[in-house]
Amino acid sequence: MTPLPAKAARKWQGLYALKPWYTRRLTPVVNVAVRWNISPDVFTVAGVLAAGVAGATVALGWWPLTALFLALRLAGANLDGAVARARGVSRPWGFVVNEIGDRASDLLTFAGLAVWAARQRGPGLHWLSWPVIMVLIAALAATLPTFASLAGAAAGAPRRNGGPLGKTERCLFVFLATAFPVILPVVATQLVNGSLITTVLRLRAAHRELAAKRQDGPAAQGTQELAVLAS
């Protein structure tokens, strides 16, 4: 009996689906980098530096600058891979550098958001206030989707990105909490919920892909053995 084809997995990409469009907007920068032989790591570092400045603007509540530097942070994260592919210098270590850069950028922006939350209860910094605790919980939850993706990749599944709450959505939520501090608790709650949902979806996808690989393995081996016997 011929097995029925597996049901196609639904893709929950969120704003990550806009990455090809965003990459095309950055094509002039990629062309300059190729012409001048600029290392992709330069853009990784630039993205982390932009995230650090973004974190400072978040802490101060300067939301227009927050929007600018978060956009630059995302541009840096996009350009490192685009430049590596365009120059033909992609390497496994680049994956490591990219992951470290992304995690450092998240920590810097959430640190700024924690300071901003501590300033919402009057003069001074109120570190034991509920908004700060919520931001710290959100920052912790935001690491879970990445752990899920890396664990799946380590086991042999593709490295998954995107939403419903990925890197781009986190930047958007940080901006909203900076521009409208009254909704900061709501934003923190949604960061936690979205991160948990994204983690579950990535783990389910990884489990499905690994199970499919395990089933395909014996079938492929059997086909090879039949070919040898028939030869």
Q: Selecting from 3.40.50.300, 3.50.50.60, 1.20.120.1760, 1.10.10.60, what CATH number does the domain 14-219 have?
A: 1.20.120.1760
| Angle made by CA atoms 171, 149, 70, in degrees to the nearest 5 | 15
Residue 61 dihedral angles phi and psi, to the nearest 5°: 80, 20
User: How high is the pLDDT of residue 216?
Assistant: 77
SS3 156: coil
Output the pTM of the full model.
0.85
Instruction: Round the average pLDDT of the chain to a whole number and report it.
Output: 88
- 71 in Cβ contact with 123 (< 8 Å): no
What is the mean pLDDT of the segment spanning 69-83? 95
- What pLDDT is attached to residue 217? 67
Query: Which amino acid does the sequence have at 147?
Result: F
Using the predicted structure, report yes or no on whether residue 7 has a pLDDT greater than 70. no
Question: What pLDDT score was predicted for residue 227?
Answer: 46
Residue 72: closest CA among 104, 41, 105:
105
